[in-house]
């Protein structure tokens, strides 16, 4: 069940009022194990063994994988969660898990619903003072694949659909990444003539970036539900950064913004390092 939750994405325009377009009847399905401590404990074991590699040890999410301890997963009815675990969504990278027993699926739902829904910034371990790369004697991957030992800036490899293994057939399907602190001397390599600088940090599960016609970057933070707007570098060398904290309809240019929240109310925007005018 490695990917049972590894592809529960955030809500999109393609969804209806139900969790991932679950049938309306599923809202009436109640978890017979809800609130039962043994079921929560059993569900936690199932999650730790099979789901945490993608969604994190505490269901906080990682990379482009959404958190399950808050947001849409927590507000969805138990029956809709059970249905989605059972049927999956292969197009979103989540397989169907009807092969698990009904009891196991309800145990997982019970565990997820037992998690705290408060937003907490995940903590990574402190960066080591000195970092020595660990050598590996593992054989290099077969072309066209490669790993960090042979990657170089500007080197391109073409991987076609025919080169890909069948879904969930490789060991990597059960070997997801773990977030760790960046060592002080670790930095991306760049081609000659280019430099790499830290532009933004402290983001809360950033997932999707879109570029506006004027060059602004819009970044969605899945865990907090915020949208960050990046506008380059100020004359003082600081990051020009704006945060939108509520669901809005947005039309943005470099100098002005027109925003309306639910019910036509104005939405708040916090500016970091730059200014913008808000038109109500």
Question: Is 85 inside a domain boundary?
Answer: yes
Q: What is the largest CA-CA distance in the chain?
A: 63
Q: Is the C-alpha dihedral spanning 162, 164, 169, 170 positive or negative?
A: positive
Query: Which of 81, 114, 147 is where one domain is finished?
Result: 114
Both tokens of 70, joined, read: 């808050």
Both tokens of 47, joined, read: 């999650």
Give the mean model confidence (pLDDT) for residues 225-249.
75
% of the chain with per-residue pLDDT over 70:
69
C-beta neighbour count of 49 within 10 angstroms: 12
Higher pLDDT, 9 or 97: 97
Cα→Cα distances 214→231, 253, 257, Å: 9, 7, 13
pLDDT in tens, 136-165: 888 998 889 888 888 888 889 999 999 988
Structural domain total, the chain = 2
Output the domain CATH number for residue 92: 1.10.760.10
Question: Is 152 inside a domain boundary?
Answer: no
Question: Is 239 inside a domain boundary?
Answer: yes
Q: Which domain holds residue 234?
A: 206-279
Query: What pLDDT was estimated at residue 202?
Result: 82
Which residues are paired to 217 by β-bridges?
211, 230
The span from the CA of 84 to the CA of 21, in Å, is 9
Question: Is 161 inside a domain boundary?
Answer: no
Query: What pLDDT was estimated at residue 111?
Result: 94
24 contact partners, CB below 8 Å, separation of at least 6: 18
Question: Is 59 inside a domain boundary?
Answer: yes
Query: Which of 58, 80, 114 is where one domain is finished?
Result: 114
The structure's pTM equals 0.48
Report the candidate in 217, 211, 239, 213 with the shortest Cα–Cα distance to residue 229. 217
Both tokens of 35, joined, read: 């609130």
- Which residue pairs from 194-202 have beta carbons closer than 8 angstroms and sit at least 24 positions apart in sequence? 199/230, 199/239, 200/228, 200/230, 200/239, 200/241
Query: What pLDDT was estimated at residue 196?
Result: 87
Q: Is the pLDDT of residue 124 over 60?
A: no
Query: What pLDDT was estimated at residue 105?
Result: 92
DSSP 98-167: TTS-HHHHHHHHHHHHHS--S-----PPPPPSS--PPP--PPPPPTT---TTT--TT------GGGSPPT
Confidence band of 271 (pLDDT split at 50, 70, 90): very low
Query: Which of 89, 114, 139 is where one domain is finished?
Result: 114
Confidence band of 64 (pLDDT split at 50, 70, 90): low
pLDDT in tens, 171-225: 666 566 666 777 777 888 888 898 888 888 888 778 788 998 888 889 988 767 7
């Amino acid at each position: 069940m490695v990917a049972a939750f590894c592809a529960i994405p955030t809500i999109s325009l393609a969804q209806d009022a139900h969790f991932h377009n679950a049938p309306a009847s599923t809202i009436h399905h109640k978890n017979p194990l809800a609130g039962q401590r043994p079921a929560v404990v059993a569900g936690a074991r199932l999650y730790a063994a099979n789901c945490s590699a993608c969604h994190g040890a505490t269901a906080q999410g990682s990379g482009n994988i959404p958190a399950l301890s808050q947001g849409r997963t927590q507000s969805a009815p138990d029956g809709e969660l059970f249905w989605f675990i059972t049927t999956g969504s292969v197009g979103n990278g989540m397989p169907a898990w009807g092969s698990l027993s009904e009891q196991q699926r309800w145990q997982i739902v019970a565990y997820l619903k037992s998690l705290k829904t408060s937003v907490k910034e995940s903590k990574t371990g402190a960066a080591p003072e000195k970092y020595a790369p660990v050598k590996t004697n593992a054989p290099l991957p077969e072309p066209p694949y490669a790993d960090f030992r042979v990657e170089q800036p500007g080197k391109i490899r073409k991987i076609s659909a025919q080169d890909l293994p069948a879904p969930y057939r490789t060991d990597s399907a059960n070997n997801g990444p773990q977030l760790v602190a960046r060592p002080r001397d670790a930095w991306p390599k760049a081609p000659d003539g280019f430099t790499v600088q830290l532009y933004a940090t402290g983001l809360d599960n950033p997932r999707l970036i879109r570029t506006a016609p004027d060059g602004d970057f819009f970044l969605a933070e899945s865990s907090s539900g915020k949208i960050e707007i990046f506008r380059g570098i100020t004359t003082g060398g600081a990051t020009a950064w704006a945060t939108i904290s509520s669901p809005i309809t947005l039309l943005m240019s470099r100098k002005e913004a027109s925003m309306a929240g639910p019910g036509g109310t104005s939405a708040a925007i916090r500016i970091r390092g730059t200014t913008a005018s808000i038109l109500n």
